Amino acid sequence: MFKVVGVIGAGQMGSGIAHVFAQHAYQVLIYDISGAQLEKALKSIAQNLERQAKKGVIFETSIQGIMGRIAVTNDLNDFSVCDLVVEAVSENEALKFDLFRKLDEIVGKDAILASNTSSISITRIASVTRRPDKVVGMHFMNPVPVMQLVEVIRGLATSEETFQAISSLVDKLGKEMAVSQDYPGFIVNRILIPMINEAVFALYEGIASAEDIDKGMKLGTNQPMGPLTLADFIGLDTVLAICNVLHDGFKDPKYRPCPLLVKMVNAGYLGKKSGRGFYSY
């Protein structure tokens, strides 16, 4: 059904999503306002494909063909050829609304618009378009080529036809689907972000060091990495943004972000991407 897939945002998530689609024989067009970021994304995809080849996940000989299916642009109007667009920009509601309004004008009337948002309402995003039935959430996990889950979120107006098309697509990408109703945080972040926030509170209250909090959760609950390390990898600004979505959406004080998390974001200590978070990089 889908021939050309547009991906908006050439960051870690966008490049990972583009990688997976191209690997599964889809033509992909990546958009970003930054030419340097587009170059970085292509380089990152090529490196990750080489890594997959070394592990025997793909054949070395297939890399050139996969890369040949990926094109880049900094002109959103080029998305007129896409029959599916996956938006993967930062967790900023106003930015997403603006993009979906523009996309609604650019893509064909039958094209599906998906958001990789990890917490923002699909129903609200869909409401700024004239095709709310064709808007859906496709929340990929990071790193996209490795993680098996795609959280699919149905907005209030998402049609059964759209849902079935995305369900079939997830299967074709070799992924597993978990279906969520459209409430703040969906499934994964509704559970994960309060856990991370609670770990920050444990540090803030002096219960234990960051190292011991992470060691306790890794060795005590068999998680692959501790919650504070994970927060650094996600980006503390993203963690805070999702905390705020949960707090605003449910009006429940249990979701209030820890003051230490707020202070660190204000200081620019955003985790791995800024070189400093709960740990130094």
According to the annotation, is 185 in a ligand binding site?
no
Q: In whole angstroms, what is the distance from residue 112 CA to residue 133 CA?
A: 9
The answer to whether the beta carbons of residues 90 and 19 sit under 8 Å apart is no
Choose, from 15, 115, 121, 189, the residue flagged as catalytic. 189
For the chain, the straight-line distance linking the first and the last C-alpha, in angstroms and rounded, comes to 43
Active site residue 274: no
According to the annotation, is 220 in a ligand binding site?
no
According to the annotation, is 13 in a ligand binding site?
yes
Choose, from 87, 121, 151, 180, the residue flagged as catalytic. 151
CA within 13 Å, CB half, 263 = 7
Active site residue 92: no
According to the annotation, is 215 in a ligand binding site?
no
According to the annotation, is 254 in a ligand binding site?
no
According to the annotation, is 212 in a ligand binding site?
no
Active site residue 118: yes
Choose, from 87, 121, 139, 197, the residue flagged as catalytic. 139
Structure token digits, residue 151:
């959280």
According to the annotation, is 93 in a ligand binding site?
no
**CA nearest neighbour of 154 among 181, 120, 193:** 181
Active site residue 198: no
According to the annotation, is 165 in a ligand binding site?
no
According to the annotation, is 10 in a ligand binding site?
yes
Classify residue 70 by burial, with Cβ atoms within 10 Å: 0-12, 13-18, 19+: buried
Choose, from 115, 118, 119, 180, the residue flagged as catalytic. 118
CA within 13 Å, CB half, 194 = 15
Write out the binding residues for NAD(+): 9-14, 32, 91, 96, 118, 142, 273
Write out the binding residues: 9-14, 32, 91, 96, 118, 142, 273
- Which sequence positions are flagged as catalytic? 118, 139, 151, 189
